[in-house]
Every structure is written in C-alpha cells, then in structure tokens.
Amino acid sequence: MTKRSEDEVTTEELPPSLPSLSARGTSHVHFEVEGVRFEGVRELEVRPNGERLLEVERRVADGALSGPCLVRQLTSPVTYIQRQRMYEEVQLAFRLNHPNIAQIFHVRADDEEDAAYAVMEYVGGPSLETLVCAALVRGQPLSEEFGLYVGAEVADALHYAHTLTSEKGVPLGIIHRDVNPRHIALGLHGEVKVLDFGAAYSLLVGREESPELLLRGDVAYASPEYLRKEGLTPRSDVFSLGVLLVEVLTGKHLFEVHDVPVVVAKETRFRPEVQPSLPLQQMQSLMETFTPDVVENAVGHLAQDIKAVLHTALRLNPEERFATAADMRDSLRGVAQLRKPYGRAEAAKEAARVVSEGGVLRDLVEFGEGGLYPEGLEKHELDALRKA
C-alpha cells in the first residue's frame, strides 16, 4: 500500500490507462502493485461525467487479503486547476482510515498524466438511495431501528473526518459537504460505508478550493449556510445527515420543491457542479422560509425521541444544532438503546428483505423514464442481495 505522508500521497505504479471491460466480465484487465495482483471482473457503470467504475479481484499469494475491489477511473481534467483539485481530492481521501469509510488502497493521480484512478474497497451491498427507493415501491419505509443504526454509523465516520489531523497534529478541517443517500452503502454483512469524499472541503495546506460561485455535491442535502456560500463547519454535515435520515425514515425528502413555482424561485449567481436531485433555486427559496414546522410536518408520525434528534440536527441556525457529529451519534445510539438490539446482522436482513420485496413489485408497476431504481441496481446490488 502506498505510504501516507503529511505533504503528499505518492501514487503507485499503476498502469497509465485501463482498457474497456465488458459488463459481463473478463480477466483481460490486470495489473500488479507491490506483489498484489488485480484482475478485472466487470464494468459496473459509466457515469454521465465519464467516470468508469470497474470491479476487480485482488489476489494475494497467501490468499489472506484476496477479494473484490472497486476501481474508480476519473475523467481527464481539462485545466491545470482542475487537475490539481483532482489530485488533492484523491490525496485527501487517501488519508481517511475508518471502518465506516470505504478505504482507498492504491491511487494514481498525476497532474502530468491523463489517467487518474483509485483502487478502493468494494461494497457489494445496496446504497441508501436503492434502499429508500425499494422501500417506497413496497409502500413501507425502512424501520426506525435501521435509521438509528445507519445514522449513528455515518455520524461516527463524519466525526472521525472532522477531527482528523496531519502527522504534526494540525487539524485538516475536513467537511464532507455531500452527505446523501448515493454516498452511503450497506455491505453484505450490514456494515455501513461512506463512499465518497470527492466533494470534501478541507483546510489542507495548498489545496485548491472550489471556484467561489461553484456549489459542489447534491444541493438537495446541503445545509442552509452552504447554499448561501457561508462558512462550513461540522454542523453543516450534521444538517445534511439530518435531511438524509428524514428520507430514510419516511421515504420522502424533507423539502417539497414542487410547492415553489419556478417563476418565484430565488435567482442565484451560484451554479451546482453536478445536476442536483432538486433544483438549486427552489432549494434556496425554501431555505428562506425553513422553520421547525417544516421538520415536524415531515416527521410528525415518528417516535418522539427520534423526532427530538432530527429537530436538533435540522436547525436553521448552525449554533442550535449538535455541536459535533459525535454528539449526534451519541444521541442516536442513546435512542437505539431503548429499543430491541439492532446491528449489522439485523441491518443486512432488513436490506435484503426490502430490496427483494421492492424488486418484485417493481416488475408490476411502470415508474416512468429511467425507472425508479437508481443506475447500478441491476448490475450488482440486487444480485448480491439475493445471494445473501
């Protein structure tokens, strides 16, 4: 594994490019790093931005660390600043080593080369987006116990990132700023993984920050202060996690943008980097009238102790939220202790059941263009769960 250093991450001697890999699989893609052989299995996805996700098999001589990995091949940056940002994003992600964060094993990110990709931990289970969609199809949201378990695990990962320091003890000031259901996945054994810190903000010395008017990540889960391009703190990720948990526990997004006509939506100079799941202008307009009543209307049917946690996480004023993600984690676990025991095994069983039930009903209902299930479900998530 490449050595993590304070000032830079030295990339491995990975191949300069990866050839095409069929969806059904082939072993023609192969390379070796420090005695570990990687063999291609299949191409999982080609994203709209040109990124490729490949499943590869990691093979070690003694078999101790053998198993599947994910190769994420990034698109070639056009400008020097974009190349520098991409390099620093991979550098930042490589520093993170936590059981609830998908680990980066090897990276190639050279601002002088076209190729840039990372070999990372493969999470074979479904994303939260898939689980929320499946629960919606079957007409019953995920359980409160599931939401408490996942929320606490994600909060623990965020607190780790928020408090990470350099080798000299200097705080890195990492804020995820893109906590959303697509970036949280459940492993086949029920482990929770945060998948992507690619939009993360950091005080990393020398890091190229996003252009002033650019909003990174899905603004549908962004904190009010981020939509105004104000200062970010760990409380910003706390708000995003609160929005995510409302969706997990109710099957509905916290904000109903269809209630805000486009003609009266707030004009903005800002632009999102990726196509958001909810329109930016309407999200900004809704934030101007955001009150605890909005939260109560969304979560009114939930248990009182869960509602209290969500109300605290979703305050408009950051100073009124949980001060840290650890505080939110502890509150979620405190509520969970009052219920029946629920951990990895229970989460894995519930996820398999929800996706299976939703998958059966999906075949009977027309969900419109593109379908209700997100891209990638047919490729690996559903098959993996059916075998679990």
- Which residue, 20, 19, 61, 21, is CA-closest to 37? 61
Q: Buried b vs exposed e over 220-246: b needs ≥16 C-beta within 10 Å?
A: bbbbbbbbeeeebbbbbbbbbbbbbbb
Is the Cα torsion angle 300, 302, 305, 310 positive or negative in sign? negative
Helix (H) or strand (E) holding 271: strand 271-272
Whole-Å CA distances, 197 to 158, 184, 374, 379: 10, 11, 20, 23
Show the tokens assigned to 243: 């929005």
Catalytic residue among 111, 156, 178, 237: 178
Measured from the Cβ of residue 5, the count of other Cβ atoms closer than 10 Å reads 13
Q: Buried b vs exposed e over 275-314: b needs ≥16 C-beta within 10 Å?
A: ebbbbbbbbbbbbeebeeebbeebbeebeebbbebbbbbb
> Side-chain half-sphere of 243: how many Cα atoms within 13 Å?
27
Instruction: State yes or no: is 178 an active-site residue.
Output: yes
User: What is the set of active-site residues?
Assistant: 178
